[in-house]
């Protein structure tokens, strides 16, 4: 359904949509070095947990592509680990980034003794390609599973962007919407603007409009009255990290939205691939929360909106406790409470490979 290519491997480079220019310009940027990928992730030219994972996989390959093939394997592995740590530091909250980097490093270890450095480089490039293809498949599966839950609803509310532009293609929270259109069911989607960087207004509204989905944009602080007026049947959001008990981190403002939905007896769904689960963390209290520059709030989009010397607190994410979550929609199945038990069952086979 979505026709925009968020990230792809073209002519030995990574091509991404520069999402900082949306919705005014649909511009593509070619990434040729790990430093350029670090900057693209850090500045949110590429964003959304699954897309960041794919970007990191290709970014790690770019970081080692030009290392000498005649170097010792031990030195090569040392340099690979340094590049991996560097790239993983670009954004700390979305677990998909670290998941993809760990998976890349694990892709050749079982046969390391029989490989040349040139072999390892090729394996890493192929593994990045596999991660990209799997993201497409998993997001479409999330959409299929989610549609079965949402098909009797008409209006949905979402926060931030968890659509095609946050992944390789279908998205997570918006995937059921796109699957629905393919099946002849057209949802009406209400979109929070998502302060302070307006990912909902700039990105979600843009991609839904492009796809021909009815969309209504609201300010973040309008969610409660919109729900009270009976305009929302269900809320669906993405996730940047889900812990073993079902607590999850998502864009700042998600927690309050979940509380409001609970107060109005509106179901609240989370849609995410298994790569977004971090079962090494017991609860959401352990999730590292990224704090971003104060200028995003006081001088966003080249317009000063507060005194220049004001103190600012700018966390990019918040954590929603599992008690507010109706279900978690994954590519494998829909996970229901009690989450600690059901997540353990779904992830029993492991998440890395």
- Residue ending a domain, among 92, 112, 136, is 136
Quick check: is 1 in a domain? no
For residue 337, what are the domain limits?
Answer: 143-346
Residue 352 lies in a domain: no
The answer to whether residues 122 and 152 belong to one domain is: no
Give, for 250, the enclosing helix (H) or strand (E). Answer: strand 248-251
Residues 161 and 260 in one domain: yes
DSSP letter (8 states) at residue 202:
I
**Helical spans, DSSP H, in 117-188:** 117-150, 175-182
Confirm whether 353 is domain-assigned. Answer: no
Domain boundary among 136, 168, 195: 136
Q: What is the number of domains present in the chain?
A: 2
Cα–Cα distance measured from residue 119 to residue 102, given in angstroms and rounded to the nearest whole number:
18
Domain finish residue from 136, 162, 192? 136
Query: Looking at the structure, do residues 201 and 328 belong to the same domain, yes or no?
Result: yes
Length of the chain counted residue by residue? 353
How far apart CA 311 and CA 308 sit, in angstroms, is 9
**pLDDT tens per residue across all 353 residues of the chain:** 557 889 999 999 999 999 999 999 999 999 999 999 999 999 999 999 999 999 999 999 999 999 999 989 989 999 999 999 999 999 999 899 999 999 999 998 756 667 899 999 999 999 999 999 999 999 999 999 999 999 999 999 999 999 999 999 999 999 999 999 999 999 999 999 999 999 999 999 999 999 999 999 999 999 999 999 999 999 999 999 999 999 999 999 999 999 999 999 999 999 999 999 999 999 999 999 999 999 999 998 888 999 988 999 999 999 999 999 999 999 999 999 999 999 999 998 665 43
Beta bridge pairs of residue 318: 250
For the annotated catalytic residues, the residue numbers are 240
């Amino acid at each position: 359904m979505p026709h925009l290519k968020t990230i792809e491997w073209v002519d030995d480079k990574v091509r991404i949509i520069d999402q900082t220019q949306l919705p005014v310009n649909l511009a593509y940027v070619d990434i040729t070095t790990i430093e350029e990928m670090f900057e693209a992730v850090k500045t949110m030219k590429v964003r959304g947990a699954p897309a960041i994972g794919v970007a990191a996989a290709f970014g790690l390959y770019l970081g080692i592509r030009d290392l000498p093939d005649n170097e010792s394997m031990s030195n090569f592995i040392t340099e690979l680990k340094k590049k991996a740590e560097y790239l993983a530091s670009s954004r700390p909250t979305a677990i998909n980034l670290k998941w993809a980097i760990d998976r890349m490093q694990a892709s050749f270890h079982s046969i390391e003794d029989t490989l040349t450095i040139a072999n390892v480089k090729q394996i890493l490039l192929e593994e990045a390609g596999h991660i990209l293809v799997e993201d497409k498949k998993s997001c479409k599966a999330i959409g299929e599973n989610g549609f079965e839950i949402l098909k009797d609803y008409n209006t949905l509310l979402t926060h931030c962007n968890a659509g095609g532009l946050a992944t390789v293609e279908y998205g997570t929270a918006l995937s059921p919407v796109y699957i629905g259109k393919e099946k002849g069911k057209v949802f009406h989607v209400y979109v929070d603007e998502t302060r302070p960087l307006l990912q909902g207004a700039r990105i979600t509204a843009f991609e839904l409009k492009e796809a021909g989905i009815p969309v209504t944009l609201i300010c973040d602080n309008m969610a409660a009255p919109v729900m009270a007026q009976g305009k929302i049947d269900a809320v669906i959001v993405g996730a940047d990290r889900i812990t073993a008990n079902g607590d999850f981190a998502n864009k700042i403002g998600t927690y309050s939205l979940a509380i409001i939905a609970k107060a109005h007896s509106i179901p609240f769904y989370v849609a995410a691939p298994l790569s977004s689960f971090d079962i090494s963390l017991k609860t959401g209290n352990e999730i590292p929360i990224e704090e971003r520059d104060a200028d995003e709030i006081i001088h966003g989009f080249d317009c000063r909106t507060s005194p220049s010397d004001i103190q600012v607190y700018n966390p990019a994410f918040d954590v929603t406790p599992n008690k507010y979550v109706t279900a978690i929609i994954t590519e494998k199945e829909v996970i229901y409470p009690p989450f600690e038990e059901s997540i353990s069952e779904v992830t029993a086979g492991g998440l890395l490979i």
